[in-house]
Amino acid sequence: MIVSIHIAERESAPMMSIPSARITAGKGIEGDRYFTNSGTYSHKPNPGRELTLIEIESIEALQRDLGIVIVPGDARRNIVTRGVALNHLVGTAFQLGEVSLRGISLCEPCSHLAGLTQREVLPALVHRGGLRAQALSDGVVRVGDSFVLDSSR
C-alpha cells in the first residue's frame, strides 16, 4: 500500500508530500525534479530515476534500531510503501494503483542523501534504501492505493 507520495521541484529542494501524482511512462512523476531533468543525478540518464520507492518499515527501523529519526520525505524517495518487500522487485513488473511499473535496481543511499539528512543514514540504509522503478504506463497513484504483482509482464 502507498503510505505517502513525495516530489521535489529541483535538485536538493525539500520534498513535498502530495496526496496523488500523475505518472507518465518513460518520464516519471509530473512535477518531480527527475521528470524535468533537474535532479542531482539527471546528467546520468537511467530509467530507474523515473520513480523511487522505500518501505516505511525501513524508516521505522532506523529510529527503532539506531535512534535515527527521519520523516518519510527526508528519504528522498517518491513513494513510501507499507507491506511490500521492495528488494525482491528488481526485474519484476508490478502495479501501484492504476500505474504499471518495473523494478530496475535497488536504490542504495548516497552521500547526497547523507548530506541532506545525516551522515548515519548512509550505512543504516544499505540494502534498505528502496527501489528504483521505471514507469511502464501513464496514470495516477494515490495515497492508500494497493500494490499488485503484474504477472502479464
**pLDDT tens-place string over residues 87-116:** 999 999 999 999 999 999 998 776 666 565
User: Which residue spans within the chain are E strands per DSSP?
Assistant: 2-7, 16-18, 20-24, 28-29, 51-55, 79-81, 93-96, 99-106, 131-135, 139-142, 147-149
Give whole-number Cα distances, 86 to 4, 42, 56, 80, 122, in Å: 15, 23, 11, 10, 18
Distance CA 95, CA 102 (A): 9
Number of domains forming the structure of the chain: 1
Write down the residue that cell numbers 526485474 correspond to: 91
With beta carbons less than 8 A apart as the criterion, state whether 125 and 107 touch: no
Residue 41 has pLDDT above 90, yes or no: no
Which CATH number characterizes residue 36's domain?
2.40.33.20
Q: What does pTM read for this prediction?
A: 0.86
CA pair distance 80, 121, nearest whole angstrom:
17
pLDDT at res. 128: 80
Q: Quick check: helix, strand or coil at residue 82?
A: coil
Could you list the residue range(s) of the whole structural domain that residue 81 is in?
A: 2-149
For 115-127, how does the pLDDT look when each residue is reduced to its tens digit (9 = 90+)?
656 666 766 677 7
